[in-house]
A and B are shown apart, each in its own frame.
Chain A
Amino acid sequence: MPSLPNLTADLGAVWLTFRLATVTTALLLLIGTPIAWWLARTRSWWKGPVGAVVALPIVLPPTVIGFYLLLLMGPDGAVGRFTVWAGIGLLPFTFWGLVVASVFYSMPFVVQPIQNAFEAIGERPLEAAATLRAAPLDAFFSVALPLAKPGFLTATILGFAHTVGEFGVVLMIGGNIPDQTRVVSVQIYDHVEALEYAQAHWLAGGMVAFSFLVLLALYTLTGRKAR
C-alpha cells in the first residue's frame, strides 16, 4: 500500500482529472454541437478546411499541439496578450489553461460523432418539421437533437475518456503542479520516474479498468440503439 501523503497526492490527481474531463466535455458539447451542425449541413467551400482543422489532433503528436498552444497562450502569443489585457492573466500552468488545451485536443472525438449523427438524420425530418410550423431553432431542439441522441452519447463518452487519457498536451501546457495541473497520467509518470511501481500500478490499473468500462458502456449502449 502507498504511504498516506502519496495516497493524498494520488487522490488529488484523480479528482483533478475528473474535474478537467467533466469541464472539458461540457464545454465541448456546447462548442462542438454548432460546429458539428454546420459541418453536417453546409455546402460551403470552408467545410473541408474546417473539418480538417477539427480532425488535426487525431494525427498530430500531442506535443505539437501543446507546443503551439503554449506559444499562443504565452506572454508573447496572441491569446496570451488578450488574456493579460482582459485581466485573466496567463493561462499556461493553470487549470483553465489545461481546459483550453483539452478542448482543442479532444475536439474531434466530440464533433465527429455528433456530425455523423446529424448527417445520418439528413434534411428530411427537418423539412417535415418545417411543414408542421416548426421554426428552424424549434426543429433543431424538437427533432434534430432527440434523433441525434446516440451520437451525443458517443461524443460525451469519447470526449470524457479521451481527456482523461491525455498526457503530452498536459505536460506541455500544465507542467506538473499538484492539484492544479498534475492529472493521473502525469502522476503515473512521476511514480515510474521515482521507481514507485506499486503506486504506478494502482493508478495505471485504475485507468485500464476505467477505459475498459467506458468502452464497454459505449458499445452496449450504442449497440442497443442500433437495433
Chain B
Amino acid sequence: MSIAAQFKLAWPGFSLDVDLDLPGRGVTALFGQSGCGKTTLLRCIAGLERGAGRLAINGETWQDAGVFLPTHRRPLGYVFQDARLFAHLDVGRNLDYGRRRAASVNSRGDAAIIELLGLGLLLERLPERLSGGEQQRVAIARALLSAPRLLLLDEPLAALDHARKQEILPYLERLRDELDIPVIYVSHAADEVARLADHLVVMEGGRVAAQGPLAETLARIDLPIRLGEDAGAVFAATVVERDAEWHLARVEFDGGELWVRDSGVAVGRQVRVRILARDVSLANSRHDDVSIMNLLPATVLAHAAEDHPSAILVQLRVGGTKLLARLTRRSAQRLDLAPGREVWVQIKAVALIG
C-alpha cells in the first residue's frame, strides 16, 4: 500500500523534480511556501499537468513511460482552492455529477457522506447562494461521492477567513479519521498541517526538502525551510483525567504528563498535542516557584541557528518524544546547553489540536 510518484517538469523560471514514496493511507501534507511547486505536484498526480515521470497508486499505474491516464480516467477526488462548483447546477446536482460518472459505487454510502459534511439542508441551493465554507464542504462531498481511490486537496482552506476555517477543520478531521483512502493535502499553513497530517513532505524550489512521519519531521531542526513562529512539536497523547474545579485536563504521552485546558474531550480519548518552540523555556534545575504548570525533565539532543542571529532552536528528548525550544543565543550559552545535557523544560502553552 503506497503511492510512488516521480515527476520532472521544467517551465521558464520553475522546475519540479520529485521522487516520492508516500504511505498508501492516512493524510500526507505537501507543505511549503507559495511557488515551491506543491500545487504543481498535486496537478501532476491528477493528470492536470503533464510532467515526465511515473505514478503508481497502491499498485495501479496511472503514468509511466508510454502510459498516461487522462484525468477523467483516474479514480481520484480533487478539491480545488476555489471550490469550482458548477454554477448552473444546484448543490444536489453538483453532488450527482461525479457520482453518476463513477465506475464503482461509493463504499461509505451517499447519505453518510452528505451527513458527514452537513449538507442535508443545502441540496436545493445554487452555489452562488452558499457561503465560502459551505461551497468548500460541497466540493469535498462532490469529490468523495465520485468513489475516489485517492483524495487530493489543494489548500481547501486558503480562500476562507479564520471563522470559516474553524468551521471546516472539524469536518476534515472527521474525514481523516473515517476515510480509508489516502489523502494528499497541500498547504502552506503550519497549523493546518499539524492538525491534519500523518505524514509530511516539505517542499522548496520544486524539490523535496524533507519528508517523513509528521512528529518526526516537524521536530527536525536541520530543515532548510524555517517555520519561524510556527516551529514546534506535534505528538499523540491520551486524556487521563479531567479536573472540574480548575477546568483542566491531564494528558499522558510517551515522556510524561501535561496539564492542558479542558476542551471537553472525554477521558480515554486520543488527542494530538502541539507545543510551539516559542512556548518552551529551559532551566538547569527544577523550579516550582513559577507560574508554569508543565515541567518535564529532558535531554538536549542538538541545536541549530535561527533566522535572527539572537535566536537558537534547541531539540530535546522527553522520554520517547522530541520537543523544540527557541531561546536566545545568550541564554543557551549561560545554561551551557550542549548535546547530552540534562535540563528541565518549562512549557507555557500546550494546544490540543483534535
Residues of A whose CB lies within 8 Å of any CB of B are 124-125, 127-136, 138-139, 142-143, 146-147, 149
Contact = CB atoms under 8 A, between A and B. Distances in A.
Given A133-B103, A135-B72, A142-B97, A128 B84 contact: yes
Contacts of B101: 132-134, 138
A130 B72 contact: yes
A127 B48 contact: yes
B88 A127 contact: no
Contacts of B102: 133
Contacts of A128: 78, 80, 84-86
A124 B84 contact: yes
B155 to A, nearest CB: 15
A134 B97 CA distance: 9
7 contacts: A125-B84, A127-B48, A127-B80, A131-B98, A133-B72, A133-B73, A138-B101
A200 B85 CA distance: 54
Contacts of A136: 72
A124 B80 CA distance: 9
Contacts of B76: 131
Contacts of B84: 124-125, 127-128
B201 to A, nearest CB: 21
A188 to B, nearest CB: 42
B97 A132 contact: yes
Interface string B34-52: 0000000000001110000
Chain B's interface size range is 20 to 34
A131 B46 contact: yes
Interface of B: 46-48, 70-73, 75-78, 80, 82, 84-88, 97-98, 101-103, 142-143, 146
Nearest to B148: A131
A132 B48 contact: no
Contacts of A134: 72, 97, 101
B113 to A, nearest CB: 14
A129 B87 CA distance: 12
Nearest to A121: B87
Among A127, A128, A142, chain B packs the most CB atoms within 10 A around the CB of A128
A181 to B, nearest CB: 41
A135 B74 CA distance: 11
Contacts of A127: 48, 71, 80, 84
Contacts of A138: 72, 101
Contacts of A131: 46, 48, 71-72, 76-78, 98, 143, 146
A213 to B, nearest CB: 28
A135 B47 CA distance: 13
B146 A133 contact: yes
A130 B48 contact: yes
Nearest to A127: B48
Given A127-B48, A131-B78, A132-B101, A147 B87 contact: yes
Contact of B82 (A124, A142, A146, A147): A124
A135 to B, nearest CB: 5
Nearest to A143: B86
A131 B97 CA distance: 11
Interface pairs A-B: 5 shortest CB-CB: A132-B98, A131-B78, A133-B101, A130-B71, A128-B84
